[in-house]
Amino acid sequence: MTTFAARLQSTLFQGAPHDKLKGLVLGPGPAGRCDDAKVGIGIPRWDEKSQQWMLWYYCRDQNFTREAPPTLGSGSIASATSPDGVTWQRMPGLGRGGAIVEPSTSRDDFDSLHVGLTDVTVHDGRYFMWTFGGNFRTTDTKLGTLPGLAMRPGLIVSDDGVTWSRVYGAAAHGAMADIPHGKLYCAWPNALHADGKIYLYTSCTDPNFRRWDTLIQVSSDGARSWTAPQPLQWLDSSPGYGGAGELTRSMIPNPLNTGHRWLMAYTALEGPGPRFHRRSIALAVSHDAIVWLRLYDQPVFEIEDESAWDGGGVAAPHLRKVGDEWRLYYYGFPKAEFENTLPKGVGLAIATAPDLSNFRRIAAS
């Protein structure tokens, strides 16, 4: 199988033009797989134990008939491996269609309808998968009355990155955190391990999708209990590209000479505006992982071609250093009018160290 053929195996998108797939490294899989319809956010990591790249991602298959929100791609979670972090081989899980995590079989659990993830962290040799999900409870929103949108964050742990066990939290329906009053959901979690604590970041919005904000909770006992949520704070005012808030983010030790301890890559939502907010990726730095300063006046990565597979938005960034290059793995999706011909999936763009202001998508073939 050629490098490009491995990226997009679904029969749904075999006619997609190659020049519209620049940046794509993993799209929907072959028929019968749990990911043969949609591939969502992917979390890449070089795994020291197995000496290979691992990728965990959420997905949905063509036979996913549950009434989960159609705009989401979350359904189950799958994995892939790679020798180079570019060409990926899907791994067979024990779940339906090769999934490694499926919705809970207990209808009352927070993730009994659909499940996804936005982060995998490793601490003291243990893998922490930070998930989100929704159950069959319906919610009135601007999109209509839908089940599965009252999403909450969860945690699944593993000793090898392959076999996973749910951790039931103290929040409602076994989640790690509850939905704040007046908000639609508390989802898209990311985590940071520092100074013996876990910092948990989640996104919330109102039922009218006007703005997204990040909440931070801290655990000092290994995710058994959490502090009350507090908002992520900014030292500078919101630029236009981030006027509607931030949605997903990931944090790493700051490699830049700015004097700050942490570097965050995050999804910025342009606003104010209509329900759909243009998504781009920006960077920020912080001393304490709570108060942040935007690094540049502009995003470091954004939509390039609105008729391409990622012309609807780029989001959920994860930065990885490989040799002299910085890799930006991201989630891309097409504009609504191209959803039947172009895939959603995991993308990759590269910048040359130490300049993180200009990422370029990898070639389509």
- For residue 253, the cross-strand partners are 262
Quick one: which of 8, 1, 69 has its CA closest to 35? Answer: 8
Predicted confidence (pLDDT) per residue in 212-262, tens digit: 999 999 999 999 999 999 999 999 877 767 778 888 999 999 999 999 999
* pLDDT in the model for residue 4: 55
- For residue 12, being part of any structural domain is answered with no
* Contacts of the segment 45-51: beta carbons below 8 A, 24+ positions apart: 45/120, 45/122, 45/320, 46/85, 46/320, 47/161, 49/160, 49/161, 50/81, 50/161
The highest-confidence range among 4-13, 235-244, 272-281, by mean pLDDT, is 235-244
Domain membership flag for residue 15: no
- The pLDDT, as a whole number, for residue 6 is 63
Asked whether residue 2 is assigned to any structural domain, the reply reads no
For the segment 64-68, the average pLDDT, to the nearest whole number, is 73
Given pLDDT bands bounded at 50, 70 and 90, which one contains residue 145? confident
**CA–CA dist 252, 52 (Å, integer):** 20
Mean pLDDT across the stretch 336-348? 95
Q: What is the domain count for the chain?
A: 1
Confidence label for 2 from pLDDT (cuts 50, 70 and 90): very low
DSSP 207-249: TT---EEEEEEEESSSSSS-PPPEE-EESSPPPGGGTTBEEEE
Cα 146 to chain centroid, rounded: 22
Q: What is the pLDDT of residue 241?
A: 72
Residues 158-195: tens digit of each pLDDT = 999 999 999 999 999 999 999 999 999 999 999 999 99
Mean pLDDT of 84-93: 96
Quote the distance between the C-alpha of residue 7 and its chain's center.
18
Question: Is 11 inside any structural domain?
Answer: no
**Range of 95-109, 204-218, 244-258 with top mean pLDDT:** 95-109
Q: Which range of residues forms the domain containing residue 131?
A: 21-360
- Please compute, for residue 64, the number of CA atoms within 13 A of its CA located in the half-sphere on the CB side: 28
Q: Whole-angstrom Cα distance, residue 344 to residue 39?
A: 6
Instruction: Judge contact between 79 and 93, C-beta under 8 A.
Output: yes
**Is residue 120 within 8 Å of 97, Cβ to Cβ?**
no
Considering only CA atoms, which of 150, 146, 66 is closest in space to residue 102? 66
Looking at the DSSP bridge assignments, the partners of residue 231 are 215
Q: Judging by DSSP bridges, how do beta strands 233-234 and 291-294 pair with one another?
A: parallel
Whichever domain contains 142, its CATH number is 2.115.10.20
Q: How confident is the model at residue 66 (pLDDT cuts 50, 70, 90)?
A: low
d(CA 203, CA 213) in angstroms, rounded, equals 6
Q: Do the beta carbons of residue 19 and residue 364 sit within 8 Å?
A: yes
- 235 within a domain of the structure (yes/no): yes
In a domain, 74, yes or no: yes
Instruction: List pLDDT tens digits, range 30-49.
Output: 999 999 999 999 999 999 88
Q: Which tens digits make up the pLDDT trace of 283-335?
A: 999 999 999 999 998 999 999 999 999 999 999 999 999 999 999 999 999 99
Percent of the chain with pLDDT over 70: 95
Q: Is the pLDDT of residue 275 over 80?
A: no
Q: Would you tell me how many other CB atoms lie within 10 Å of the CB of residue 298?
A: 12
For residue 269, CA distances in Å to 128, 262, 322 come to 27, 21, 28
Q: What is the rounded distance in angstroms from the CA atom of residue 75 to the CA atom of residue 110? A: 13
Supply the mean pLDDT for the chain: 91
Residue 89 lies in a domain: yes
- Residue 99 pLDDT > 60, yes or no? yes
Residue range 352-361: mean pLDDT, rounded: 90
Q: Let me know: does 320 contact 329? Beta carbons within 8 Å.
A: yes
Asked if residue 286 belongs to a domain, the reply is yes
pLDDT band at 273 (very low <50, low <70, confident <90, very high): low
What pTM did the predictor assign? 0.94
